[in-house]
Structure 1
C-alpha cells in the first residue's frame, strides 16, 4: 500500500535515507529517537514535502479508493465550529472532479471514530481524546488507502489511549495505517509491523515480535518492544 524506494530528503545538515520500505494492510509503527527522521518521512508520505531523490508512492487494490489521510501531531482543530461543519469544510476542500466527498461520507467517518452523537458539538467543548478522534475523522474523509498518524495518543489519559488504540486496530483491518509514537504500549498493542529509524537511516523493518526478540505467537510485551528499540539505537550509536 505504501512503498518507498531509495527515498532521500535533505533538511539542512540532516539527511533522511535512502529509505526502502513497503507497508501493506495493517498497522505499522514508525519508531526512533527524537531527530531520527520520523516526521520527515511521514510528511513525505503525506505529500507535504518533496523528495530530493527516490520515490514514495501510495497504491490501492483495483476498485478501491486511493490517497493518503494525515493527522499531524499538533492537530487541535478550530474551537468555534461544530464538529460536522468542520468536517464539511474539510470535505469541500478535498472534493474535486475526480472525487466528491458527500454527507454520507462524513457520517461514515464520524461513525468510525465514535463521534456521531457529538456531531453538533463545538470543537472547543470536546475532550482531548475526542479531538484526536476528530483529527482521525478528517484524515479518513475520502476513504484513503493509507492513514498516517503522527503521535496520535500523545497527551491522552490511559482510557483515551485505549480508545484510540482500539480505533487504530479497526482501521488497520482494510487499509495501511502508519503511526509514529514514543509509547511502547501503543506499538505492542496495535502494530503488526515496525520500521525503526536512527539518524535518518532505517535500522530495522519487520514484525513487532521480531523487534521484541520473540518467536511465539501473540502480541509481545511493551517492555520487550522498548528493549528491542533501545538495543538497536545503542548498537548503532556505539558503532557511529
Structure 2
C-alpha cells in the first residue's frame, strides 16, 4: 500500500512523451509533471500554451504520448480536471446558482454525480455564496472570473486549469484572484497560463516555459528568476528570467 507521504508527493498531472501537431506547428515531445500547488505556464504568443492547456484539460487528444491524471485514477467519482477558458463570461440572464446547476447536470454521469452541496462548496470556495441568487449580468468582472473558477471546481477535480484568469481585471480584482489561487493551491494542482509576471511572482511555486512548441524550462519560480533574496522572487526577476531563456533558445537555434 502506498504511504500517505508517497501519495502526497505523487504528481497529479503528468505529460509523458506527448506530441500534438496543428498544421505546421508541433508541440512536444513534452515530459513534465505537476504536483499540488500553483504552477505557471509561460511563453510568448505562438509558443504552444493554448495547445498545452487544451491537452491538459482533455479538450483535445495528443497525437502520441499520454496525459495522466492521478486524481481520476484513484477515484472515478471525481472530475479529472476543471477548466476556465480565457474568454469565459457566462450567460447574463441566469442566476448564479441556476447556471452552476446546469453545468453540474451537464457533467454528471459515468459515475460522477454533482450534488447541490457541491454547488454550495464551489460558491463558498470562490466567495460567491452571497451572490448565489444574483443574475450573472449584475456581477463585476472579478466576480464573473470567480464564477468561472467555481464551475471549474464542480466535481471536485484534483487539477484546476486556468487560462489567463486575471486578464481584463483591475488591480483589486487581480489581487482577489491571486489570493483565491493561493488558497486553491493548498489542496489542488493549479495550472495557470498567464502573460503577467506579477501573477507568477505572487502565486506560482513552479514554472513551465514554452518556446516554439518545446519546454525550455521546468522548475521552481525562484530558479527561473535567479533571485537569491528571501521571500518570493519579484515580477521583474521572473520576467528577466523568461526573456533570458527565450533569447538564449533563439540564439542557440
TM-score interval w.r.t. the shorter chain?
over 0.9
Deviations 1:12-58 (A, max 9, x none): 00000000000000000000000100110110011111101111111
Structure 2 CA distance, aligned partners of 1:148 and 1:198? Answer: 20
Work out the CA distance in 1 between the residues paired with 2:184 and 2:231. Answer: 19
Which of 27, 33, 40 is the aligned partner of 1:22? 33
CA distance in 2, matches of 1:50, 1:166: 32
Contact 1:58–1:66 (Cα < 8 Å) also in 2: no
Counterpart position of 2:191: 178
Counterpart in the other structure of 2:176: 163
CA contact (8 A) 2:28 2:213 kept: yes
Q: How many residues align?
A: 240
Instruction: Give the match for residue 252 of structure 2.
Output: 239
1:41 aligns with 52
Q: What secondary structure sits across from 1:43 in the alignment?
A: helix
Question: Aligned partners of 1:133 and 1:123: how far apart in 2?
Answer: 11
Q: 1:132 aligns with which of 127, 131, 145?
A: 145
1:208 paired with 2:232, answer no
Q: Aligned pair 1:103/2:128, yes or no?
A: no
Name 1:121's counterpart in structure 2: 134
Q: Secondary structure at the match of 1:174?
A: coil
Which of 46, 62, 66 is the matching residue for 1:55?
66
Deviations 1:166-225 (A, max 9, x none): 000000001100000000000001000000000000000000000000245421011000
Aligned 8 A contact 2:79 2:112 in 1: no
Shift of 1:97: 4.2
Structure 2 spans left out of the alignment, 5+ residues: 1-11
- RMSD (CA atoms): 1.3
Q: Which residue of 2 aligns with 1:89?
A: 102
